[in-house]
Structure 1
Amino acid sequence: MSFPDRWDDGTDPASAAHQVHWYDDRTAIVRQALRTNFEGPFLYLLLGTGRALLLDTGTGHVPLRPLIEELVGERELIVAHTHSHGDHVGGDAEFGNVVGPAAADVAAYFGLTDWPNGVAELDLGERVLDILPIPGHHASHIAVYDRDTRLLFSGDSLYPGRLYVFDWPEFRASVARLGEFVAAGKPVEWVLGAHIEMTTEPARDYPMGADRHPGEHELPLRPGVLTELVDVMAAAGQEPVRIETDHFIVFPVAPPRE
């Protein structure tokens, strides 16, 4: 179980459009190259004995399905999302059996009858995942916890970068629930988000839209960073406020116009 020393951010035009790293023999981390889109999102492929879950499909600027089919083999593939912003659902059209983008679609698929409360289980075959609603960055946002590896996949709600908060009360409540979930007996080895926007210099991020990332922060975050997010959001109060830490920046923004 390991991470690469550094990620190929794809700025070299000769590099692959997606970098694949196997954390273990059933967990693939796929990074879309920054040269294809400045978001450089991370996608996660989790393999069970019977089914596989692809978490997010990237921006859609480069083909993804041939790569995923090669990695999945004969397993049934489920395509879901941490949330449905464009840089996470852009490749959906390549796939079948895609969980819908709205919160109601996500709740119905996973059997979350009291959204955004509760936790659902997804059994991939000798690999059980917990699905938790965590809206605030987006209404349909979820976190996924893998009981085997103790990895927590946090999407855009926690990663080394700017945590854009579109709904402040929902985000605070979601972060609190996520902290309670972990504290109630779900130990976390690493938190894995969907982007890297921080540098190795504490509290320093890249300019918005940067398509080159010299000196990137590591992707995996220790569980103490989640505890820090829980604490700072609890202390922040009811009014949105920007919060800078060594590993993330809480970044309140107005909701986008429809």
Structure 2
Amino acid sequence: MSFPDHWDDGTQHHVHWYDERTAILRQPLRTNFEAPFLYLLLGRDRALLLDTGTGHIPLRPLVEQLAGDRELVVAHTHGHGDHVGGDGEFDSVVGRSVEDVAEYFGIDWPHGSGTIDLGERIVDIIPIPGHQGADIALYDRATRLLLTGDSLYPGRLYVKDWAAYRDSIRRLAAFVADGNSVEWVLGAHIEMTNEPGRDYEMGADEHPAEHVLQLRPGVLAELAGVLAAAGDQPVRIERSDFIVYPV
């Protein structure tokens, strides 16, 4: 189980196998400054693709090659354009609304949780609205990876609904503390440099000295703590690995 030393900025997705059943795909910066990360989790029977990127480069042929003959489920961390842009390539995707997500995964939104069984691989689905209305985090029991989309990553954490976001991060931290140990927290972007607290300019299409993708679980606890201390009024918060950015 490993991460690359750097992410290639070519013309096609950089595919990194975290282990033999977990692929991390990054869309290159040169195709779109968002450079989102996508995740492909392989079970015995089904494969789960999390997010489809901006749609600027083909995705389906690559995913089908990686997933083999498994049934493919395409879902999203949330419904913003840089995460759903490739949806049109696929025959079927999980809907983007709160109602669609809750129904598909069997979630009592937002305080419950759901699961998806890929075949000898169970993934927990936790609602975490705040960045956008239908945000989810995924906890893979097999690898103990926590996939957090745009709600936590090395970068600017844009918060639309402050109260919902604070509650979501509190609940997510409680989920981890309640016996669901996390090896790494993996988000959907990198916007920080490897200099603590320093981010790239918005829209930057080059990322010299980039922060690593993976965050230790303590960063989630740190985020929950600073949000709790901040109180009810939205406020910008700068830390080494993230910047809370109310919008």
CA distance in 2, matches of 1:236, 1:80: 32
SS class of match (1:34): coil
CA distance in 2, matches of 1:233, 1:66: 41
In the superposition, the TM-score normalised over structure 1's length comes to 0.95
Match of 1:148 in 2: 142
With 92-101 and 25-34 compared, the bigger mean Cα shift is at 92-101
Match of 1:24 in 2: 19
Match of 2:179 in 1: 185
Match of 2:28 in 1: 33
SS class of match (2:195): coil
CA distance in 1, matches of 2:190, 2:173: 22
Q: 1:103 aligns with which of 98, 117, 121?
A: 98
CA distance in 1, matches of 2:31, 2:83: 14
Q: Map 1:16-165 onto structure 2 (within 5 A).
A: 16-112=11-107, 114-165=108-159
Once the two structures are superposed, what CA deviation does each residue of 1:12-69 show, in whole Å capped at 9, x if it has no partner?
xxx2320000000000000000000000000000000000000000000111000000
Q: 1:223 aligns with which of 208, 212, 217?
A: 217
**1:244 and 2:238 matched:** yes
CA distance in 1, matches of 2:7, 2:55: 20
Q: CA deviation at 1:221?
A: 0.1
SS class of match (1:154): strand
Match of 1:208 in 2: 202
Q: How many residues align?
A: 247
Match of 1:2 in 2: 2
In the superposition, the TM-score normalised over structure 2's length comes to 0.99
Instruction: Tell me which amino acid in the other structure corresponds to 2:186.
Output: L
SS class of match (1:176): helix
Identical counterparts, % of pairs: 70
CA distance in 2, matches of 1:6, 1:37: 18
Q: CA deviation at 1:97?
A: 2.1
Q: CA deviation at 1:196?
A: 0.2
Once the two structures are superposed, what CA deviation does each residue of 1:99-118 show, in whole Å capped at 9, x if it has no partner?
00111110011111x21111
SS class of match (2:53): coil
SS class of match (1:30): strand
Once the two structures are superposed, what CA deviation does each residue of 1:178-221 show, in whole Å capped at 9, x if it has no partner?
01100111000000000000000110000000010000000000
SS class of match (2:167): helix
Q: CA deviation at 1:119?
A: 1.2
CA distance in 1, matches of 2:48, 2:92: 11
CA distance in 1, matches of 2:240, 2:80: 26
Once the two structures are superposed, what CA deviation does each residue of 1:96-148 show, in whole Å capped at 9, x if it has no partner?
22000111110011111x21111111100000000000000010100000001
Q: Which runs of 4+ in 1 moved over 4 A?
A: none
CA distance in 1, matches of 2:165, 2:92: 29
Report the RMSD for the aligned CA atoms in angstroms.
Answer: 0.6
SS class of match (1:171): helix
CA distance in 2, matches of 1:21, 1:39: 18
